[in-house]
Amino acid sequence: MSKKKLVFSGVQPTGNLHLGNYLGALKNFVSLQKEMDCIYCVVDLHAITVFQKPNDLRENVFETLASFIATGLNPDRSIIFNQSAVSGHAELAWILNCTSRIGWLNRMTQFKDKAGSDKEKASVGLYIYPNLMAADILLYKATHVPVGADQKQHLELSRDIAQKFNSDFNCKDFFPLPEPLISKNVARVMSLRDGKKKMSKSEESDYSRINLKDSADDIDKKIKKAKSDSEPIPDNLKNLEKKPEALNLINIYSEISKISLDKVLNEMSGKDYSFLKKNLTELLVKEITPVGKEIKKLLNDKSHLEQILKKGKEKANIIAEENLKNIREKVGLI
């Protein structure tokens, strides 16, 4: 087995990227590209597991790509492309559909959340989404996958699928078992309106999230309106944990300021949340608005973005085809 470390991760082009994607995934993507070979993918085939208007989907692929680049991903260092451009993802997903077990998929909590109460009406794609995610990772024999905590279960499934494939086809270590890389404090950035739900692109209220393209004014309004607590900031984590919305704001503050949670509580205990919100707004405006400006600038030059996707697709396809050749052989496909 090749011992070389290789990172793979993807983001769905389902709308504006938000602070959860930024802190939970993108920032990690950027720091990893300094240490390892990385492949970052705009996962459009995942997006269509829930109906997308074709024009919106096309726009969102560019939007997601622009967010990658604006955050600091470098297409000369990392392979950056859109998933549907490399057909090996779909081919391997089919093979892995035959390795994965129905009982394993039945345990996936994201399907239960996304399908809602009427599961019969959910697409088959949404149900087998984790098998496609396994294919995305294993197609490149990636060893490390930076994700938010919401994807941990899917990643564990990818490991189970890899292990079963290696055992079924008697090829120990053929697929490496991919390791999740999950940021600690911000593994799950929560909605600004409900501290028990994760911040999400598809949440109806725009006040539930900070978008990367929000203006300073938007950020100010959203943080002012964010749910917190009527009591002053406590001096210990145990008390803070009882108030999920307040904990979320302090977690975000701690992550962006790079001051530990304990130290933030030490400095702010006894103060009102309006004090925290003012400081948090300043930090967010400084961190997020330059990214938003860069996204808008990049979106004005679509041909440049198309070039990045084309170059990325060519590089990804070389690795994918080489690995697929061996996979087909293992399975017995001629």
Token representation of residue 60: 């969102």
For ligand AQP, the binding residue among 7, 20, 166, 312 (CB under 6 A) is: 20
Strands 6-11, 37-42: parallel, antiparallel or unpaired by DSSP?
A: parallel
Active-site annotation holds for 114: yes
Interacting span for ligand AQP (CB under 6 A) from 77-85, 91-99, 194-202, 217-225:
194-202
For ligand AQP, the binding residue among 198, 243, 277, 313 (CB under 6 A) is: 198
**Catalytic entry in 5, 197, 201, 311:** 201
Q: Does 108 bind ligand AQP (CB under 6 A)?
A: no
Q: Does 41 bind ligand AQP (CB under 6 A)?
A: no
Residue 75 neighbours by CB distance under 10 Å: 19
By beta-carbon proximity to ligand AQP, the closer residue of 86 and 186 is: 186
Question: Alpha-carbon distance 210 to 253, whole Å?
Answer: 13
Q: Does 199 bind ligand AQP (CB under 6 A)?
A: yes
By beta-carbon proximity to ligand AQP, the closer residue of 24 and 178 is: 24
For ligand AQP, the binding residue among 6, 7, 8, 11 (CB under 6 A) is: 11
Angle at 79 between CA 189 and CA 126, to 5 degrees: 50
Question: Alpha-carbon distance 243 to 64, whole Å?
Answer: 33
Instruction: For residue 63, give every residue at least 6 positions away whose Cβ sits within 8 Å of its Cβ, in sequence order, or none.
Output: 13, 15, 16, 17, 295, 299
Minimum Å gap between C-beta 249 and ligand AQP is 14
Token representation of residue 44: 């459009």
For ligand AQP, the binding residue among 12, 84, 143, 166 (CB under 6 A) is: 12
DSSP-derived secondary structure for 118-186: -GGGS-HHHHHHHHHHHHHHHTTT--EEE--GGGHHHHHHHHHHHHHHHHHTT-TTSS--PEEE--STT
Q: Say if CB 39 and CB 209 are below 8 A apart.
A: no
By beta-carbon proximity to ligand AQP, the closer residue of 202 and 303 is: 202
Q: Does 21 bind ligand AQP (CB under 6 A)?
A: yes
> Would you tell me which residues interact with ligand AQP (CB under 6 A)?
11-12, 14, 20-21, 24-25, 147-148, 150-151, 188-189, 198-202
Catalytic amino acids?
114, 198, 201
